Structure 1
Amino acid sequence: MNLANQPLPSPDDPELADRASHWKSVYVHIPFCQQVCPYCDFAVAAGQDHLFSRYGRALIAEIGSAPDWGPLHAVNFGGGTPSRMPGRWLGRILANVASRFGLVEGAEVSLEANPEDWTPSQARELAAVGFNRVSLGAQSFDPVVLSYLGRRHSPEDIVRSVAAARSAGFASVNLDLIMGSPPETVASWSATVRNALDCEPDHLSTYALTVEPGTVLWKRVRSGALAPDSDQQADCWEIADEMCGGVGLVRYEVSNAARAGHPCRYNLSVWGQGGYLGFGNGAHSYRRGTRWENVRDLRRYVDTMESGRAPGRRQEAVTGWAAETERLLLGIRRRAGVKAGRGGRALWDSVSGRRLRAAGVIDLRGERLRVDRPLLTDEVSRAILSMRPPNGSRVRSGGDSLP
């Protein structure tokens, strides 16, 4: 599965964004972690490695019972730490995905890994079973920041992990970075981005540190610890954007930049509402106007699958005006923008829209709505959510429990 077999336009090309709206993808959740990071609110579990086999069998059972869907343009193993699960299980799960749905020629098959335990032998094993993209959770090249984030790896581990992926033949390598933690300075962030770019990744993701309710970080901040500074995060974003552009990484979404041919196809599919099926505890799915999610608890998910029951917890119909606003909310994050449609034109003509236009935040070029000041994307999102549907539009977004 060679990504080079499927050439793509520039990562920020509107044609690519529109094509991705027809792609189909699958997400496989692997919840296992050595430890839970203080900022993480995902459906993860530490100290549960004894469940590898039961969880693997549960995933295969769920995949086998899934509705017809395919062929797939992208498969993404996320977590958690997918690379923590034995390669033989990851290979079996991927083989079941490919057998059940089919993969287009050159499909993206990606997994997440942590630098400290991503070894050359593991990289070779996973490349041999069909993975062609890896996303490495670098987060920072500053040891002080890494310690604050609860990460166990060193800057040297990041460099070694990229080399391991290249040597194994992975076609695309991404580095994840987290910006704006309290111990970080603009200077240390600049050094982190420079060190990341020196690794010559094909893709770079830069996320602002957020304080999610219920996390260890949230409890620390509530007890008086410093919270992330949004102004500093904005400065960090601009630094990363400029430095990426200087080495040929094109920003195609607020938090993501890539070389030509290397945008994340799974993300493009999700942002374009191409549809995706999610497998595993806490996994979400969206297909033909319906969204649903699996039970979040790891043990409950395994027990449910072993009892022969469906793992879905809730489903929600997303149609009418709710579907239109969701399309806009996802689309405005892309540099290519989104086809305006009825919702985009309603935003353009609204009071909030006129204010955003006057400030140079949004632009309507032909039938395409774009955010020209990406740091204000959240403000545009709030304006979209505050809109009332035009006369005659149906509003429907309701949830029901799945059997």
Structure 2
Amino acid sequence: MSNPAGGQKPLGPDWLSSAAASPEVSSAGFGFYVHVPFCASRCGYCDFNTYTATELGPGVSREAYAQQVRAEIRLAAARFPTVPKVDTVFFGGGTPTLLPAGDLVAILGEIRDQFGLAADAEVTTEANPESVSADYLRQLRQGGFTRLSLGMQSTASHVLTILDRQHSPQRALDAVGWARSAGFDHVSLDLIYGTPGETAADFENTLRAVIDSGVDHVSAYALIIEQGTALARRVRRNEVPQPSDDVAADRYLAAEKLLTQAGFTWYEVSNWARSDSDHCRHNLQYWRGGHWWGAGPGAHSSLPGVRWWNVKHPARYAAALSESRLPIEDHESLTVDDQYLETVMLRTRLRDGMRVSSLREDGIAAARQVVADGLADADAFEEGTIQLTLPGRLLADAVIRDLTT
């Protein structure tokens, strides 16, 4: 797809023009991420770039947001001498589904108009269960969305209370049914485990409910206490205990056991799917070194050799676009060492692993020890690939440190 500006030289800083002109841009697939920074309330564990209505300040409104993002998409397309076709689109947040369904469809339409979508493009939105209805999901599906990722976290009411989640345990399960009725072929449920007060039975009941719901994808993450969050303050005041690493490991083993028995297979340390076609292709682009443009406040983008990020606050974001400027805060050029570190960090977490030949000499020596310790599969290593075993997945961060130091 040629540049909408008629093939003129892309505008903007030299580093962006150079990266956008690279033939590597679409060689590994090209994605589009849209950040929607609005939340109805702030979850106690969350440190994402999100804002409730009372935190937005003057000059910012949800009603104007879709037009602002569409303006950024148009400015983005003008930066490419040859606009790459988009393989995957992911709306994240925040809570994208706090916007009207028509706004999300309009943003997707702008991406289609300016960049073009691959015939089999995957289009995902995250959603909180309380922010969607059967009619809302029908509108999204009719507007071109193909995949829904619902933040369920748990079916235990007391766990949801600790996390400051607003939905009831049943609401997420109802939303799965609405999504299927709307025609979504791919529906994911996201879980958090290791919350203070969660029992082994609580998590098992959650897993069984997820399996029975008929979803094709599950993401499960250990609760991390992020500094500056409400939950961190509660832990500091000894109102709730610090999550236990041992408990988190037990929960992960339970997830692996029950999901595997139900026909799911892990394809990334924290993600399971019923089949290869149910993998989240957008996230795989991140993990496999693809490229993407991130639109919205605080969104990050990646093109060959460079990474940049937008201004964080929606007011500053809106102000830049009102002046027809890309809302870029700053950028970094990725060194060979940076790219090597990212490759090892991301690909090691995948079930298909990474090639041993991609490691440096000291990394290969470390990999041999990782295999000797039972953290990577010995047969796969002999065939030239590092693939984590189940114990290795539990210690993935440590394995990555060993391979890169």
Q: TM-score, normalised by structure 1?
A: 0.87
Instruction: Find the aligned partners of 1:194 and 1:344 in 2 and give their Cα distance.
Output: 43
Out of 318, 328, 331, which is 2:344 matched to? Answer: 328
Identify the residue that residue 6 of structure 1 maps to in structure 2.
none
Q: Residue 53 of structure 1 aligns to a residue in which SS?
A: coil
One-letter amino acid matched to 1:259: R
Q: Indicate conservation of the 8 Å contact 2:153/2:190, yes or no.
A: yes
Q: Indicate conservation of the 8 Å contact 2:363/2:404, yes or no.
A: no
Instruction: Find the aligned partners of 1:345 and 1:125 in 2 and give their Cα distance.
Output: 53
Instruction: Find the aligned partners of 1:78 and 1:211 in 2 and give their Cα distance.
Output: 21
One-letter amino acid matched to 1:41: D
1:65 aligns with 2:75: yes
161-170 or 48-57, larger mean C-alpha shift: 48-57
1:206 deviates by: 0.3
One-letter amino acid matched to 1:381: I
1:377 deviates by: 0.4
35-44 or 293-302, larger mean C-alpha shift: 293-302
Out of 202, 213, 230, which is 2:216 matched to? Answer: 202
1:381 deviates by: 2.0
One-letter amino acid matched to 1:341: S
1:134 aligns with 2:134: no
Instruction: Find the aligned partners of 2:112 and 2:305 in 1 and give their Cα distance.
Output: 24
Instruction: Find the aligned partners of 2:203 and 2:178 in 1 and give their Cα distance.
Output: 25
Aligned ranges 1:176-325 → 2 under 5 Å: 176-224=190-238, 225-260=240-275, 261-325=277-341
Percentage identity across aligned positions?
38
Aligned ranges 1:2-401 → 2 under 5 Å: 22-47=28-53, 51-66=61-76, 67-68=79-80, 69-224=83-238, 225-260=240-275, 261-343=277-359, 345-350=361-366, 353-363=367-377, 364-372=381-389, 373-386=392-405
One-letter amino acid matched to 1:243: L
Q: Residue 308 of structure 1 aligns to a residue in which SS?
A: coil
1:148 deviates by: 0.8
Instruction: Find the aligned partners of 2:27 and 2:360 in 1 and give their Cα distance.
Output: 17
Identify, as 1 or 2, the structure richer in strand. 1
Structure 1 residues 167-212: Cα deviation after superposition (integer angstroms, max 9, x where no partner) = 1111100000000001101111111111111101110000110011
Instruction: Find the aligned partners of 2:27 and 2:262 in 1 and give their Cα distance.
Output: 29
Q: Residue 312 of structure 2 aligns to a residue in which SS?
A: coil
273-282 or 334-343, larger mean C-alpha shift: 334-343
Q: Indicate conservation of the 8 Å contact 1:70/1:103, yes or no.
A: no
Instruction: Find the aligned partners of 1:376 and 1:21 in 2 and give their Cα distance.
Output: 32
1:276 deviates by: 1.0
Q: Residue 334 of structure 1 aligns to a residue in which SS?
A: coil
One-letter amino acid matched to 2:259: C
The 3 A distance-change label for structure 1 pair 340 and 21 is: farther
Identify the residue that residue 8 of structure 2 maps to in structure 1.
none
Instruction: Find the aligned partners of 1:218 and 1:36 in 2 and give their Cα distance.
Output: 14
Mark the runs of 5 or more structure 2 residues left unpaired by the alignment. 1-25
Instruction: Find the aligned partners of 2:356 and 2:104 in 1 and give their Cα distance.
Output: 40
Q: Residue 73 of structure 1 aligns to a residue in which SS?
A: strand
One-letter amino acid matched to 2:282: Y
1:318 deviates by: 1.3
1:339 deviates by: 2.2
1:22 deviates by: 1.4
Name segments (4+ residues, structure 1) moved above 3 Å.
none
Mark the runs of 5 or more structure 1 residues left unpaired by the alignment. 1-19, 387-403
Q: Indicate conservation of the 8 Å contact 2:75/2:324, yes or no.
A: no
One-letter amino acid matched to 2:394: L
Instruction: Find the aligned partners of 2:358 and 2:221 in 1 and give their Cα distance.
Output: 31
1:23 deviates by: 1.7
RMSD of aligned residue pairs (Cα, Å):
1.6
1:227 deviates by: 1.1
1:154 deviates by: 1.1
One-letter amino acid matched to 1:220: R
The 3 A distance-change label for structure 1 pair 162 and 153 is: same
1:354 deviates by: 4.4
Q: Indicate conservation of the 8 Å contact 1:21/1:273, yes or no.
A: no
Q: Indicate conservation of the 8 Å contact 1:325/1:384, yes or no.
A: no
One-letter amino acid matched to 2:343: R
1:345 deviates by: 4.8
1:367 deviates by: 2.9
Structure 1 residues 232-274: Cα deviation after superposition (integer angstroms, max 9, x where no partner) = 1111011111111111111100000011110000011110011
Instruction: Find the aligned partners of 2:376 and 2:133 in 1 and give their Cα distance.
Output: 45
Instruction: Find the aligned partners of 1:342 and 1:196 in 2 and give their Cα distance.
Output: 37
Q: Residue 42 of structure 2 aligns to a residue in which SS?
A: coil
1:349 deviates by: 1.2
The 3 A distance-change label for structure 1 pair 142 and 86 is: same
Q: Indicate conservation of the 8 Å contact 1:77/1:112, yes or no.
A: yes
Q: Give the count of matched residue pairs.
A: 365
